[in-house]
Amino acid sequence: MKKILILAYDFPPYVSVGGLRPYAWHKYFRKFGLEPIVVTRQWDPVRQNALDYIAPSEFSTVITEETQWGIVVKAPYKPTVSNRLLLKYGASRFKLLRKTLTFLTECLQFVLPIGPKRPIYLAAKAFLLQNQVDFIIATGEPFILFKYAKDLSQTFNIPWIADYRDPWRNGLQQDLLRRTTGFFEPRILKHAAMVSTVSEWVKKRIFLHSADKPTLIIPNGFDADSVALVDSVAASNDLTFTFVGSFYPWHPLEAFIREMCRFMHENPNLPILMQFIGTNQNSLIKDSIQRYGEEVKNQFIIVDKIPNPQVLVKLRSSQCLVLFNYYENAGTKIYDYLAMKRKILFCFSEDPEADERMKNYYTSTWKEESGNLRPQQALLEKYKVGIIVPNAAALNSKLNELGEEFLRLGQLNCIGQDVSVFSRESQTGQLAEGILDFHNPQKKSNE
């Protein structure tokens, strides 16, 4: 069986969407002819908040674990000076100093042997000195892992694969750090044997640097085993709406909260709940609730990041899931949403205010480039689970329709279709097949 070394910064037990993709590789690669060895950092989540990302690891030495699916090598983590200041003094002090130090570290790690992520490279190198592998794959971001994969590839003569979950720099308005480190993207990527990514949207934004590279489109998905564990969870007796994940600058969050508050005010006898889970805008959400819904604030629930199994329970126990427009990109959460067999409220398909913010966020003309594609909307319509809301003005009537259905039936009915094609096991199988086919000399000679 061929062996593949996986460089992944985010990985369970750390709670992040980015960690689910390499976790699926670890879990399923063996079924498809690849023996996985994951090299990640040690995660000791004790705060269950953003500080877990910068907290020092409990152990200062490499930990190697053998799981039922493969090997996991965990490198120690020591915070940077900037992050040590944050942990000790909080977010309100030394802001400029911390930003300056972070910028310097993140840039210089591409040319000097420094940085808090370097122990991953050292742990991988130590493993390769003692063990032979056939492939290396690095998933980004952080994109410094691409450099580590390139260096390991050149040292040990092993082909490496660049897996993009998001673009590095193309097409989006990004901060100075992303634009500066993006200088290294084409110089690193030219050494990759092949590229994999999650969508055509991302592929377009790396194409200039990978035009001569074989590229696999492997979408994100849902973990069928985890979904099966919550399949028997009943929907809430309340009319519960749930949103999970991050908000982006173009999302009409304030308009959504305003209309949700209006819906609550107009239907005092309906047991309406709106819960936000693991967002990056809790303060903004609280401010909006205070502005539009002080009287109904107890009907809003804000939950910090929680492990994915708990997220799935909350999704499955909801009556309706809220999804915001990601335009050209399908995103990640839509696949978990589809697997829950719940109605999905899509906001918004053609809202002028949101569209304008989206155009301001992109440095390119996204409508002209994409041909006005909407992969999320296409999926929702194909699998018959979406409630497509065109704009903020139409949201109230859509909510009232749902309220009437809930009063009439005691629940929101959803007759979805089979979405097993989006299981992470299926997606991992496609990735493994692509890797093995590309590196199969006999098959190449027959083509």
Instruction: Let me know if residue 284 belongs to a domain.
Output: yes
Per-residue pLDDT at 211? 64
Instruction: Let me know if residue 277 belongs to a domain.
Output: yes
Residues 30 and 36 sit within 8 Å (Cβ to Cβ): yes
Give yes or no: residues 203 and 262 share one domain: no
Residues 330 and 219 sit within 8 Å (Cβ to Cβ): yes
Tokens 């028997």, residue located: 232
Instruction: Let me know if residue 232 belongs to a domain.
Output: yes
Instruction: Let me know if residue 88 belongs to a domain.
Output: no
**Radius of gyration of the chain from its Cα atoms, rounded to whole angstroms:** 23
CA distance 273 to 264: 9
Per-residue pLDDT at 129? 97
Give yes or no: residues 138 and 24 share one domain: yes
Residues 406 and 319 sit within 8 Å (Cβ to Cβ): yes
> Strands 63-66, 194-197: parallel, antiparallel or unpaired by DSSP?
unpaired
CA 289 to chain centre: 26
Instruction: Let me know if residue 110 belongs to a domain.
Output: no
Amino acid identity at 265: H
CA distance 220 to 385: 19
Per-residue pLDDT at 306? 84
Give yes or no: residues 230 and 178 share one domain: no
CA distance 143 to 168: 7
Give yes or no: residues 211 and 271 share one domain: no
Per-residue pLDDT at 406? 95
Instruction: Let me know if residue 107 belongs to a domain.
Output: no
Per-residue pLDDT at 176? 75
Give yes or no: residues 266 and 363 share one domain: yes
Give yes or no: residues 172 and 305 share one domain: no
User: Per the structure block, which two tokens stand in for 31?
Assistant: 């079924």
Side-chain-side CA neighbours of 105 within 13 Å: the count stands at 16
Give yes or no: residues 203 and 283 share one domain: no
Specify the DSSP element, H or E, that contains 241: strand 239-244
Beta-bridged to residue 64, according to DSSP, are 73
Tell me the residue ranges of DSSP E strands in 68-218: 71-75, 135-140, 160-164, 194-197, 215-217
pLDDT tens, the chain, 447 aa long? 999 999 999 999 887 888 989 999 999 999 999 999 999 999 986 655 667 788 888 899 999 999 999 999 999 999 989 989 988 888 889 989 998 998 899 999 999 999 999 999 999 999 999 999 999 999 988 999 999 999 999 999 999 999 999 888 754 445 677 778 888 998 999 999 999 998 887 887 776 565 678 889 998 899 999 999 999 999 999 999 999 988 888 888 999 999 999 999 999 999 999 999 989 888 889 999 999 888 898 999 999 888 888 999 999 999 999 999 887 778 888 999 999 999 999 998 888 877 777 776 654 444 444 444 578 888 888 888 889 999 988 999 999 999 999 999 999 988 777 888 899 999 999 999 999 988 775 555 454
Give yes or no: residues 308 and 199 share one domain: no
Specify the DSSP element, H or E, that contains 107: helix 95-108
User: Per the structure block, which two tokens stand in for 53?
Assistant: 């990302």
Give yes or no: residues 319 and 364 share one domain: yes
Give the CATH number of the domain where residue 294 resides: 3.40.50.2000
Give yes or no: residues 325 and 418 share one domain: yes
Instruction: Let me know if residue 275 belongs to a domain.
Output: yes
Give yes or no: residues 232 and 205 share one domain: no
| Phi/psi-derived region of residue 192, left when phi > 0, alpha when psi is between -120 and 50, beta in every other case | beta
Give yes or no: residues 182 and 243 share one domain: no
CA distance 153 to 5: 11
Per-residue pLDDT at 173? 45
Residues 155 and 178 sit within 8 Å (Cβ to Cβ): no
CA 433 to chain centre: 23
Instruction: Let me know if residue 104 belongs to a domain.
Output: no
Beta-bridged to residue 300, according to DSSP, are 274
What does the DSSP assignment read for 230-241? TTTPPPPSSEEE
- For 396-400, which contacts have Cβ atoms below 8 Å and span 24 or more sequence positions? 396/259, 396/262, 396/263, 396/266, 398/345, 399/259, 399/260, 399/263, 400/263, 400/266, 400/267
**For the chain, what is the domain count?**
2
Specify the DSSP element, H or E, that contains 322: strand 320-324
CA distances from 284 to 21, 254, 274, 345, 392 (A): 29, 8, 15, 21, 18
Kindly report the number of other CB atoms within 10 A of residue 442's CB atom. 6
Domain span holding position 260: 224-422
